[in-house]
Amino acid sequence: MLFGSLAQAGKATQEDGQNDKKVKSTSREYLEALLWALLLAVLIRGWGVQAFKIPSGSMIPTLLVGDHLLVSKSSYDFVILDNEFHIPFGTGEESFLKMPWPAVSIQLSDPERGDIIVFRFPEDRSTDFIKRIIALPGETVEVRGRDIFIDGRQIQDDWGQHAGGLPDPGCPKQYRFGPIKVPEGQYFVMGDNRDNSRDGRCWFGGQGGFVPRKDILGRAFIIYWSWENYGWGVRWDRIGKLIH
Contact 116, 128 (CB under 8 A): no
- Which of 229, 226, 219, 230 lies closest to 241 in space, CA to CA? 226
| DSSP letters spanning 216-236 | EEEEEEEEEEEEETTTTEE-G
| DSSP letters spanning 85-116 | EE-SSSSGGGGEEEPSS--EEEE-----TT-E
Query: Residue 151: left if φ>0, alpha if ψ -120 to 50, beta else—which one?
Result: left
Count CB-CB contacts under 10 A for residue 115.
21
- Residue 169 CA to residue 205 CA, distance in Å, equals 11
Contact 98, 114 (CB under 8 A): no
Residues assigned a catalytic role? 58, 131
Contacts of residue 143, defined as CB under 8 A and 6 or more positions apart, other chains included, come to 149, 173, 174, 175, 176, 177, 178, 201
Rounded to the nearest 10°, the torsion over CA 116, 221, 45, 58 is 40
